[in-house]
Structure 1
Amino acid sequence: MPMIHISFRTSQRARLTVRVVTAGLGLALLPGLAQPATAVTKPTITVWGACEDKQLRQAGAQCAKVRVPLDYGDPAGRTIEIAVSRVKASGKRRGILLANPGGPGGVGLGFASHLRATLKGVAGRYDLIGFDPRFLGESTPITCGEPGPKPEQPRVTTARREFEESLRAARDTARRCLDKGDNRELLAHASTANVARDMDAIRAALGERRLSFFGVSYGADLGAVYTQLFPGRVDRMVIDSSSDPDATQYELFRQSGEPLERALDQWARWTAARHDRYRLGRTGAQVRAAVRRLVEGAERRPPVVDGVRLDPAVLRLLLRQLVQHGEQNEALAGVVRDLVNRPVRPGPHLRAMLDLLRSPELADSMVGATFFMCGDAGWPAGGWPDDPETYWRNMRRSRAAQPVFGPLVNGMMAPCAYWDAGSREPVTAIGNAVPVLMLQARSDNLDGALVLHRRLRGSRLLTAEIRAHGVYGRGADGGSPLPCADRAVNAYLGGGELPGEDFTCRP
């Protein structure tokens, strides 16, 4: 199954709520096309009207649909619709600001209006444009067939048996998505390059000469693709938490293991200093050992909590989502404490995670991720080994140095390994001099971001000294804001120039 990235929102009463933002593991797609990109010459847009979403209506947004080609190589052929929202500028207008919250697989109709709290006065200078990427949300959708019968899960298992089940699930996802209706024809056009073209179609439909953009995680990769395909159409471009454009998707998964283990060490030291509260160990090594016993125990007897089976991959995945954010130290400690106790009595943090695992939104986001993860990379460009034993060998080898997260990031067996929708365009690398403001947390694949920084020769890089995925607007999501970064982005979007050199922000 595809990996997920999740944004956590914690209230002042330490109650954890969860908003699904992305699917993927900071996935690096090999973006761009060898051939020149051309915008839609005559995109059409429906009349603006009331949005279906209550929060968008409360924000004063209106919604419409932009009709675009399914295949930009055949602009007179079949068309699809892209759902867009707009909150009109309230002050001296600069233009339009599109935004994407990440993924692939994340819907974004309400994301631009969500940024208003952080944009502050700058928000009034733009028409804030949200959109659902093609085939997702309120855009022309793709739906997959119902999952096949799931085998009864054994109470006692092995790591190998769980791996075999992951292969079965990957094959089933590919089959039920590709074989339903005309999905195969549609999915051949699920790519980041086509989403970037759709963005340009939105720009043209709105009668704008240029667009500004903010994208985080996968949205950052999408922004980089847009600079490559439409360099003359960029006004202000901000990309937050990007990926290494040279790495295949499988390589990126594998590369993430070491940073995750380092983050676990940081959290373990924090938790050890609070042994009286969490009872997980008085030293970082003791806390880490407790986590290791937990995940290795799940490989023999996965815990079932409130009807949710936390198999080894799911358990490692939940740990991963929490450990990458420094402000989630308390939530992670609470989850681990609950799970090591017997019987398990879920506290608020673990209960929120269980609710997420049951949610249809998560399932939809994960399937949507598959559309683009497989459509962009395909085989062999995505680097997905077609021999399952390659994954198994890498999982086993990783355990010595990465005992907690190595089996997760090396065992990723995506449906892309079984995907045969076809790719109609060659992929190409990023390389241009468009001005871009990049943001990246030091703990979050900084080496990969530096590769992209060099490819985007006109970019400036803001490095954040925090443990996080996502730097701008953290306060609006219930996280710990980084005022230095928020000010830098707002100054740039408000009409300022890029900083003269790269710089660092600290809490």
Structure 2
Amino acid sequence: MRALPLLTAGLVLLVAQPAQASRPVQASPPGPLRWGACPAAQKDLVAAGAECGDLTVPLDWSVPDGRTIRIAVSRIKAKDRAHRRGILLSNPGGPGGSGLANTLGLRPALRDVADHYDLIGFDPRFIGGSTPLGCGPAPAPAPPRERTSPRRDFEDGVARNRATAARCFAHGDNAVLLPHASTRNVARDMDAIRAALGERKLSYYGVSYGADLGAVYTQLFPDRVDRMVVDSSTDPDTTQYELFRRAGKPLESGLDEWAAWTARHAGTYRLGRTAPEVRATVQRLLDRAERRPVPVAGTRLGAPLIRLFLRQFVQQQEDDAALARTVRTLVDAADGRKVRPNPELTGMLAFLNSPEIAASFTGGAVFMCGDGGWPAGGWPGETETYWRNIQHSRAAQPVFGPLVNDMMAPCPFWKTAPREPGTRIANSVPVLMLQAMRDGNVPYDGALALHRKLKGSRLVSADIRSHGVYGRGAQGRTSVPCADRAVNGYLRGGPLPAQDLTCPKGTR
């Protein structure tokens, strides 16, 4: 879920009871999509010759004739019109990720399959070009302290989150819009896109939070699914805060893998000759940063930010060297040496000081705080609950426990309650699922739980440390050929695999 909020938030058993009734209410008709040129800022879409337009949908789907909002949509028509299958939508995750160019970005992985679909991108409501919602300018941050403590860092975070929630609801007419930011409403908007395009069904690929959005669509609109592919999904009997907490254990395991790799390259990185020695080096760095933030490139990095950086790198096995370079730089800086940040750390620092971080944070908070349950929601109201969870996690999860248990964002201070509960999944819609077995962001057992709920699904598992399985080769990472073949064969029109698959373990 949860790729974007990770850098900004501090991103089932078979049920006996019937699933919640869906409310596939939509305006009649959802309004025409009038196509024109794509915004100049969408350079990839412009270069591909895409067309863009806005779709008008209800703000509140239970009041289809009430206030409306605009959903930004893009289209690249199928090249092979004689064998056109229909429309393919996608979502990049987050929650809160802009998706207007996302389906276009899948073309290298899709290969010839892309020629058989109209590739449809869209920004979820309140994101990007879809009636964008902001929280107004934040006050200038206080300079990082020279000395701090874990409790002081925690209280600073609580104060920031409380202020952000107040600012979000005070800005513009957000108090009217925010109650309608939910995954169920995004799924309804997707179905409105389908109807406006005159299609009986849609096909879809979603990763991370986008995978959960796809599962929600199957529950609300089971008869309107053609080919559904969900990659890196979560347990639908949990909430967002629980999902964050569950990530601690696999993240620590991923760090163990990285520590073993780094120990094998001790001559290069000088962080330890054994995996326990490397882990001890990381722990000393964090223990020091919890008292004295590390000075790097004109700023100071406290332990919460360092943990966040560690998490970003440890999620992908190909980033082991980047993580080792980053830890080496931070250890040297903590020792008082003059350092030049390695490129990966420089990129992280640049993002922290960029305008994109505010948009990323707002987009994630809108849906994480707006959902009434899975695939988000579930935030304890008492801030001391988070502190207790942080402290209790330190024994078993010393590096990542304090991070994942502190991922409250502004949600405990949100000013309105969700309009609907979370979505309970229980259907037999055919779905192709993908999951990395060593995913440190959304743990593997969560995908198994969703797989049991999606009784018509097949699961393709990959024994890799990664968040996301499909199209890794097109992203410059180690590909998982059997997963790519399964997805492309299915989207091409073939059947689901006859049984669940486990892809052979790849080589580094």
Q: Partner residue of 2:34?
A: 47
Q: Deviations over 1:333-387 (max 9, x none)?
A: 11111111122321112112212222222321111100000110379x9332222
For 1:230 and 1:304, how far apart are their aligned partners in 2? 52
Question: Which residue, 14, 23, 42 being the options, matches 1:36?
Answer: 23
Q: Deviations over 1:281-301 (max 9, x none)?
A: 100001111111111111111
User: Which amino acid letter does the alignment assign opposite residue 52 of structure 2?
Assistant: C
Question: Which residue, 485, 492, 495 being the options, matches 2:493?
Answer: 495
Q: Confirm whether residue 90 of structure 1 aligns to residue 79 of structure 2.
A: yes
Contact (CA 8 Å) 1:23, 1:106: kept in 2 or not?
A: no
Q: Partner residue of 1:274?
A: 265
Q: Which residues in structure 2 correspond to 1:19-30 (within 5 Å)?
A: none
Q: Confirm whether residue 210 of structure 1 aligns to residue 201 of structure 2.
A: yes
For 2:226 and 2:274, how far apart are their aligned partners in 1? 51
Q: Partner residue of 1:317?
A: 308
Q: Partner residue of 1:10?
A: none
Q: Confirm whether residue 146 of structure 1 aligns to residue 144 of structure 2.
A: no
User: Which amino acid letter does the alignment assign opposite residue 67 of structure 1?
Assistant: T
Question: Which residue, 163, 173, 196 being the options, matches 1:182?
Answer: 173
For 2:438 and 2:35, how far apart are their aligned partners in 1? 42
Q: Is the deviation greater in 355-364 or in 117-126?
A: 355-364
User: Which amino acid letter does the alignment assign opposite residue 58 of structure 2?
Assistant: P
Residue 485 to residue 24, structure 1, CA distance change in 2 (3 Å): farther
Q: Confirm whether residue 101 of structure 1 aligns to residue 92 of structure 2.
A: yes
Contact (CA 8 Å) 2:206, 2:214: kept in 1 or not?
A: yes
Question: Which residue, 150, 156, 164 being the options, matches 1:173?
Answer: 164
For 2:373 and 2:163, how far apart are their aligned partners in 1? 17
For 1:5 and 1:208, how far apart are their aligned partners in 2? 31
Q: Partner residue of 2:484?
A: 486
Structure 1: which 5+ residue stretches go unaligned?
7-19, 27-31
Over 6 Å off, 4+ runs: 20-25
Q: Which residues in structure 2 correspond to 1:191-230 (within 5 Å)?
A: 191-230=182-221
CA deviation after TM superposition for structure 1 residue 22, in Å? 8.9
Q: Which residues in structure 2 correspond to 1:393-472 (within 5 Å)?
A: 393-444=388-439, 445-472=443-470
Q: Is the deviation greater in 212-221 or in 336-345?
A: 336-345
Contact (CA 8 Å) 2:380, 2:412: kept in 1 or not?
A: yes
Q: Partner residue of 2:344?
A: 349
For 2:216 and 2:260, how far apart are their aligned partners in 1? 39
SS in structure 2 of the partner of residue 188 of structure 1: helix
Q: Partner residue of 2:472?
A: 474
For 1:426 and 1:255, how far apart are their aligned partners in 2? 22
CA deviation after TM superposition for structure 1 residue 89, in Å? 0.1
Q: Deviations over 1:456-495 (max 9, x none)?
A: 0000000011100000011222222111111110000000
User: Which amino acid letter does the alignment assign opposite residue 43 of structure 1?
Assistant: P
Percent same amino acid at aligned positions?
Answer: 60
Q: Confirm whether residue 390 of structure 1 aligns to residue 385 of structure 2.
A: yes
Contact (CA 8 Å) 1:4, 1:25: kept in 2 or not?
A: no
SS in structure 1 of the partner of residue 489 of structure 2: helix
Contact (CA 8 Å) 1:460, 1:501: kept in 2 or not?
A: yes
Q: Partner residue of 2:15?
A: none
Q: Partner residue of 1:126?
A: 117
Contact (CA 8 Å) 1:185, 1:421: kept in 2 or not?
A: no
Alignment root-mean-square deviation, CA: 1.9
Q: Is the deviation greater in 156-165 or in 39-48?
A: 39-48
Question: Which residue, 60, 67, 73 being the options, matches 1:71?
Answer: 60
Contact (CA 8 Å) 2:134, 2:359: kept in 1 or not?
A: no
Question: Which residue, 359, 364, 369 being the options, matches 2:359?
Answer: 364
SS in structure 1 of the partner of residue 363 of structure 2: helix
Residue 109 to residue 22, structure 1, CA distance change in 2 (3 Å): farther
Q: Confirm whether residue 80 of structure 1 aligns to residue 69 of structure 2.
A: yes
Question: Which residue, 262, 265, 282 being the options, matches 2:253?
Answer: 262
Contact (CA 8 Å) 1:433, 1:459: kept in 2 or not?
A: yes
Q: Confirm whether residue 333 of structure 1 aligns to residue 324 of structure 2.
A: yes
For 2:159 and 2:29, how far apart are their aligned partners in 1? 45
For 2:408 and 2:204, how far apart are their aligned partners in 1? 33
For 2:196 and 2:9, how far apart are their aligned partners in 1? 30
Q: Deviations over 1:397-434 (max 9, x none)?
A: 11111110011111222211001223222333111000
Residue 215 to residue 21, structure 1, CA distance change in 2 (3 Å): farther
Q: Partner residue of 1:17?
A: none
For 2:179 and 2:499, how far apart are their aligned partners in 1? 41
User: Which amino acid letter does the alignment assign opposite residue 69 of structure 1?
Assistant: P
TM-score under structure 2 normalisation?
0.92
Contact (CA 8 Å) 1:378, 1:416: kept in 2 or not?
A: no
SS in structure 1 of the partner of residue 229 of structure 2: strand
Count residues in correspondence.
486
Contact (CA 8 Å) 1:213, 1:238: kept in 2 or not?
A: yes
Contact (CA 8 Å) 2:371, 2:421: kept in 1 or not?
A: no
Q: Partner residue of 1:12?
A: none
SS in structure 1 of the partner of residue 253 of structure 2: helix
User: Which amino acid letter does the alignment assign opposite residue 371 of structure 1?
Assistant: V
For 1:388 and 1:278, how far apart are their aligned partners in 2? 39
Residue 255 to residue 227, structure 1, CA distance change in 2 (3 Å): same
SS in structure 1 of the partner of residue 362 of structure 2: helix
For 2:93 and 2:31, how far apart are their aligned partners in 1? 26
Contact (CA 8 Å) 1:34, 1:426: kept in 2 or not?
A: no
Q: Confirm whether residue 302 of structure 1 aligns to residue 308 of structure 2.
A: no
For 1:89 and 1:503, how far apart are their aligned partners in 2? 30
Q: Partner residue of 2:227?
A: 236
Structure 2: which 5+ residue stretches go unaligned?
12-18
Contact (CA 8 Å) 2:373, 2:421: kept in 1 or not?
A: no
User: Which amino acid letter does the alignment assign opposite residue 489 of structure 2?
Assistant: A
TM-score under structure 1 normalisation?
0.92
SS in structure 1 of the partner of residue 45 of structure 2: helix
Q: Deviations over 1:136-172 (max 9, x none)?
A: 0011111112213433432111111100000001001
Contact (CA 8 Å) 1:96, 1:126: kept in 2 or not?
A: yes
User: Which amino acid letter does the alignment assign opposite residue 344 of structure 2?
Assistant: H
For 2:235 and 2:193, how far apart are their aligned partners in 1? 27
For 2:124 and 2:242, how far apart are their aligned partners in 1? 25
User: Which amino acid letter does the alignment assign opposite residue 365 of structure 2?
Assistant: T
Q: Partner residue of 2:16?
A: none
CA deviation after TM superposition for structure 1 residue 59, in Å? 1.5
Residue 358 to residue 476, structure 1, CA distance change in 2 (3 Å): farther
